[in-house]
Chains A and B, each alone.
Chain A
Amino acid sequence: MAAFIVRMGPVLMLWLAVCVSGSWAVDRGNFKTCDQSTFCKRQRALKPGQSPYRALLETLELTNTKLTLQLINDNNKVRLLLELYRLQGNMTRVKINELKPLKPRFEVPDVLINDPPTEPLSLLSQDENGMVLSLGADSQRLIVSAKPFRLDIMEGREVLLSLNSRGLLAFEHLRIQDGMWEETFKSHTDSKPNGPTSISLDFSLPGVEHVYGIPEHADTLKLKTTDGGEPYRLYNLDVFQYELFNPMALYGAIPVMLSHSPQRTMGLFWLNAAETWVDISSNTTVFGQMLDYVQGSSETPQTDVRWISESGIIDVFIMLGPTPTDVFAQYASLTGTQAFPPLAALAYHQCRWNYNDQEDVAAVDQGFDQHDIPYDFIWLDIEHADGKRYFTWDPHKFPQPKEMLQGLEDKRRKMVAIVDPHIKVDNSYKIHSEIRSRGFYIKNKDGGDYEGWCWPGNSGYPDFTNPEMRAWWASMFAYDQYEGSRENLYTWNDMNEPSVFNGPEVTMHKDAVHGNWEHRDLHNIYGLYVQMATAEGLIQRSGGVERPFVLTRAFFAGSQRYGAVWTGDNAAEWDHLKITIPMCLSLGLVGVSFCGADVGGFFKSPSPELLVRWYQTGAYQPFFRAHAHLDTPRREPWLFGPENTALIREAVRQRYALLPYWYQLFYHAHRTGQPVMRALWVEYPQDTATFSMDDQFLLGRDLLVHPVTEEGARGVTAYLPGNGEVWFDVHTFQKHNGGQNLYIPVTMSSIPVFQRGGSIIPRKVRVRRSSSCMEHDPYTLYVALSPKRFAQGELYIDDGHTFSYEKQKEFIYRRLAFANNTLSSRSVGSVWIQTFLMLCLSVDGKESQLEFDFDASMSVLTLRKPGVNAGVDWTVVLQ
């Protein structure tokens, strides 16, 4: 422990920003509308009304872990089995399946990280109309109404949420074939061997006007009502040149919706991997009277949601919050948290379809050094492989991949090469012949290997839902299997919706077969499995030592555990830049923090202004990668004149300086499930002004970013939340009061970013060639005082790339606090001191004086070189 008295003295540094007193378009015809997807049309034709379902109360069984009850459809006498679970952490699980299905219906495996621990339900009362169950503390009750069947979750006298209150529970039971079941879309016929199997359920959310989530859609953060339009669709699709601001399906699907009001935040997790449509309506009067015990019923705003899926069962997790943080923790307890990426993966990535050859890679690498722009990863798209045979290298363009990788390693940089899940049908290609001989390919409805067209031409699709296949796939990343690979080669999984160029809606036929199940049942989870198997491969090749880094385009609930996602093939347009914010915010709300969009836009060519603005925005979004289509002109950062090069350099440098903060936010996301990039309402849940805001965002709690996303902008108006709080412009240290709209004049170099008063943010201000080069560099702490002259923050440090932080608990995790004119660092977790951490003189047990510099005009106090060791307790006292 060392104590410092501010006045003078040497060694490591520390900044105090102190407040002292003042201070083109998609071809829509390729994709189905709800009307063209017959189950959606059928289900949507069903209008709210009296439900035909009735609970058979006499079938009630209540055990320690769950309650079961049969439901009967009075129209066709088919019985369903309802299972209710009270889960630890304020959640309720509702499962509905056929009581006696002709054959099992698909239940999604591998998404939940474990069997969610339950808590006993207790029966409070029961009569012929229903029963009341206790959900534990907080006077929360679950009311089961028998006829018609419905569920209400109440807290005190308030209904939090109702199921089947609009009578839209519909369960198409499996049946003996009673006619032609097949359906046709364009030239594709779906044989539908099991006939209609869809399911639907409605949820009513009294008091709720704002719902979020259910990515991936290129739409606003706040979900819109879908009355009179298309429902939001969840069906992983490779959409060529997607359109903005509509509910069409995109590459990934996470069936999780959050509802929010100043009183409460809740979540609905609809665990179903089949094609799913979500209708949202907001109507306070029509259905209000149904909730006769709701206070002020007809005046209460209400949002109604309806989920429709093509097959599987109803399995819903109701996360009761009540705060946003609680909902994140609840969802994380079910599906896990964000994978903790290697630090370098949070740095800048340079990608292009395609870097042509080794020489090109070397030249681009050299270009970054010549222009003194840092980067950590250079990427190779599909052209690097020999005829798009993944795991191989084009012998002319990349004859010596290991040498190339060594060249990057010498600069402490890394590479990502693409490995897609479509496998060229070519008997001389080892990957193909092994998959075929092991029977690992997905089968078509007639039992042969399913084949479709993709980049390599005729391709097979490995069945990643098969654990043996995944294990084999993972083994292919071993250094002796993946020829030309090295430790600094990582992987990118694209096209894993899966994309099938000649398939229905550019994807796989729904009647393709994965073992016992149809592709229909599990379509949306295919991409998750691809990334899961790939990430496992990268872990295994290092003997379980190194953290993997895998980027995926398709995803599902739980994908956050395996790496990063990006928003697919966007375009070099200003609106596409703007949409990156709601798209990544939506993903963050449902667990996926490691999100980014192609900087510059994939299709088309950005103007220099758009490119610069995109770098400035991307520098403050979690996954920061520039990418470009093959047909576009080159756009490495130095190709647009010295001024633009300097602007881009500065944006990238700002990213690198903030890497300690990013890393710590990801550590947090990994530990707790809290999103890294946050919607404002997450931190200001009472402030209704923030509820629809998606042109700015928070990083953690402490940085507010309002990127410039308008062409020719002269200024932006940022909303600084928090009455009584203060925010500091991170570039000028100027202080602004919270709870106001602030007009900020901007130039081309402006990236409006504010640090919350009351926070301490660690940075590394010595920006070097790559993040690895900065590992030994000292930290600079930016202490922004609250009006009460208080601040706190954290500092998390580990080796940046292995699992040692987890397995050997090798990390430093400090809580930093400034109070009573004293800045101190105290241990949070286990402490591991590594000599590399600090370039400092020994200060143990000594008391010394620090030199300082005070800028009275901006009230900035700079403490010169406190030189403390990040791993030990220390105190700095201002006197």
Chain B
Amino acid sequence: MHCPILIAVVIWSSCVDSQKIRGISLSYKRFYRERKSFLCIDGSKLIPFDQVNDDYCDCADGSDEPGTAACPDGRFYCTNLGYRPHYIPSSRVNDAICDCCDASDEYNSHTACQNTCRNLGQRERAEVKSQMRALDQGLRLKQQLIEEGVLTWRDKQAQLRDLQRVLDDLQTQLDDLRKEDARRKKEVDALRELEIGALETEENSHRSHIMNESPVSIFYELDSNRDGRLSAKEVRAKLTDIQDGERVLSEDEAVIRGRVPGRLVKGEPVLKAAVSAAEKAAAELKKVEDAYETVYMEIRDLREKLATDYGPEREFLFLYNQCFQLKVHEYFYELCPFNQVTQTSASGAEVSLGKWGSWAGSPQHRYSQMKYENGEPCWQGPTRNTVVTLTCGTETALRSVKEPGKCQYVAEFQTPVACRPALRQQGVHSEL
């Protein structure tokens, strides 16, 4: 590269300590081998080597000043022996605030930083150890809960299958009963037809039309929906001359009247038996229909419950139907996972902070956060909602609830099932 302007003569000796380039990690040492010149790591510029760490930013990528604050977006490597090495923005070098525990960032700010890496390292190792213990225990518990979950899941699946089977049986029964019911009704109808025919021949033809009709045919006439019963409505629709005190036909009256054909056909045993069989069939049908409905609903609920995402190993399944409470000052919070979050004030007023919405963690850790939405609306604001962050612990408990913004709640929920083996990796790494 031809850079005529930069061909420069150094008038006095460099003050850069070439033995040790400040602010770089081991892996970057190769870029800073002492030569006559230094090539910015992005390759953009070649500068005299003594301009490395001379407190003036020459490289656009900040690579010539790893150990000073000269470059706007540079970074400084804290070696932090005994603790964890890490990068800090170079703007934190010599700003009189101790950032690196080895105090290496404050070499020229007259701030007395203590090297706290040993202590930090020890403390962290101890912490990591106890965390690891908790994590191990948490993972064991998690395994149990997963297994429990598997069992529960199996139970539920079996239950679902059983219910399905019951439902299928009921369906079969229903089909049969419906057929039976229809057959019985038809039979009764047929018998009635016969009866009417017989009566018609017996009765004198010059009686008034109404008087002519047999009770069976009257019944038949009145029973407009052909269900073998008379309702007040049906009777009212056909009769206009009901004479009782209220001039209104009550259901009782209708039923009594409806029974008239039954009483009247006492004498005919065949029809009577047929009617009674039809009634019995109808009652049986109703019973099975009700049973079907109940089982159907149960299956629907169970399906819904089983359709909820309980995590890759269904580890969160055990939380279903459980609730967890926490008191924060004057408020009482309750989290019912996969259901809702509520807040109860000292005065006893309960407010919904959101109903189960979805998992809301980052794409990598989807199951690290839950979102509860559409709680009670705020005055002049949106509806309340709660984001629950799940943390690893040996117990399952609601740890904190806060309201950082009006009607926007955040909760911490600790549970072994939030423990991930990956956390062990992180712990191990931090033990460097």
Contacts and interface: CB of A to CB of B under 8 A. Distances in A.
A411 B97 contact: yes
A410 B378 contact: no
A13 B11 contact: no
Contact of A852 (B5, B54, B380, B408): B5
B97 A769 contact: yes
B8 A851 contact: yes
Interface size class of A (residues with CB under 8 A): 35 or more
Interface string B1-12: 000011011111
Given A631-B380, A766-B70, A852-B5, A412 B97 contact: yes
A768 B406 contact: no
A768 B69 contact: yes
B92 A765 contact: no
Nearest to A841: B15
A602 to B, nearest CB: 14
Given A412-B97, A634-B405, A769 B5 contact: no
Given A372-B89, A766-B69, A769-B92, A10 B404 contact: no
A852 B94 CA distance: 26
Interface string A842-856: 000000110111100
Contact of B404 (A8, A631, A634): A634
Contacts of A839: 55, 108
Interface in B80-106: 89, 91-92, 94-97
Which residue among A630, A632, A774, A776 has the maximum number of chain B CB atoms within 10 Å of its CB?
A776
A760 B253 CA distance: 107
Interface string A1-36: 000000111100100000000000000000000000
A633 B11 contact: no
B29 interface: no
B96 A773 contact: yes
B109 interface: yes
Nearest to B328: A396
Nearest to A628: B405
A841 B55 CA distance: 12
Interface string B337-377: 00000000000000000000000000000000000000000
B403 interface: yes
B72 A8 contact: no
A13 B379 CA distance: 56
Q: Chain B contact residues: over half helix, strand or loop, or mixed?
A: loop
Contacts of B207: none
A interface, over-half SS: loop
B69 to A, nearest CB: 5
A549 B69 CA distance: 30
Contacts of A769: 91-92, 95, 97
B382 to A, nearest CB: 8
Given A13-B56, A396-B329, A412-B97, A356 B91 contact: no
Contacts of A841: 15
Contact of A768 (B9, B55, B95): B95
A317 B70 CA distance: 52
B286 interface: no
A434 interface: no
Contacts of A774: 95
Contacts of A634: 404-405, 408
A767 interface: yes
Interface string A839-879: 10100000011011110000000001100000000000000
B267 interface: no
A10 B54 contact: yes
B9 A865 contact: no
B402 interface: yes
Contact of A766 (B91, B380, B408): B91
Interface string B291-323: 000000000000000000000000000000000
B381 interface: yes
A714 to B, nearest CB: 29
Most buried by A among B56, B92, B402, B408: B56
A487 interface: no
B49 to A, nearest CB: 13
B406 A632 contact: yes
Interface string B394-423: 000000001111101000000000000000
Contact of B9 (A8, A13, A633, A864): A8
A360 interface: yes
Contacts of B92: 768-769
A9 B97 contact: no
Given A634-B408, A766-B69, A356 B11 contact: no
Nearest to A353: B406
Contacts of B5: 852-854
A91 B156 CA distance: 93
A632 B8 contact: no
A865 B406 CA distance: 51
Given A8-B8, A851-B8, A631 B381 contact: yes
A849 B9 CA distance: 9
Interface in B1-48: 5-6, 8-12, 15
Interface string A187-207: 000000000000000000000
Residue in B5, B70, B95 with the greatest tally of chain A CB atoms within 10 Å: B95
Interface string A753-780: 0000000000001111100011011000
A13 B89 CA distance: 21
Contacts of B70: 766
A412 B381 CA distance: 37
Interface in A768-798: 768-769, 773-774, 776-777
Contacts of A633: 382, 405-406, 408
B403 to A, nearest CB: 7
B191 to A, nearest CB: 75
A767 B378 contact: no
A768 B109 CA distance: 14
Nearest to B407: A631
Contact of B109 (A410, A632, A776): A776
Nearest to B3: A853
A412 B89 contact: no
Contacts of B408: 633-634
Contacts of B379: 631
A839 B68 CA distance: 12
B332 to A, nearest CB: 16
Interface string A257-288: 00000000000000000000000000000000
A774 B97 CA distance: 11
A495 to B, nearest CB: 21
Given A10-B54, A632-B406, A633-B408, A848 B11 contact: yes
A630 B408 CA distance: 12
Contacts of A865: 54-56
B132 to A, nearest CB: 25
B11 A412 contact: no
Interface string A683-708: 00000000000000000000000000
B97 A356 contact: no
A796 B379 CA distance: 51
A773 B72 contact: no
Interface in A652-698: none
A102 to B, nearest CB: 51
B53 to A, nearest CB: 13
17 contacts: A8-B9, A396-B329, A412-B95, A631-B381, A633-B405, A767-B72, A767-B91, A769-B97, A773-B91, A773-B96, A773-B97, A776-B109, A841-B15, A848-B11, A849-B9, A852-B5, A865-B55
Kindly list the 5 A-B residue pairs having the minimum CB-CB distance in the complex, ordered from nearest.
A773-B95, A634-B405, A768-B91, A865-B56, A8-B8
Interface of A: 7-10, 13, 356, 360, 372, 396, 410-412, 630-634, 765-769, 773-774, 776-777, 839, 841, 848-849, 851-854, 864-865
Given A412-B96, A412-B97, A839-B55, 17 more contacts: A10-B11, A360-B402, A372-B91, A411-B97, A412-B95, A631-B380, A632-B406, A633-B405, A634-B404, A634-B408, A768-B95, A769-B95, A773-B91, A776-B94, A776-B109, A849-B9, A851-B8
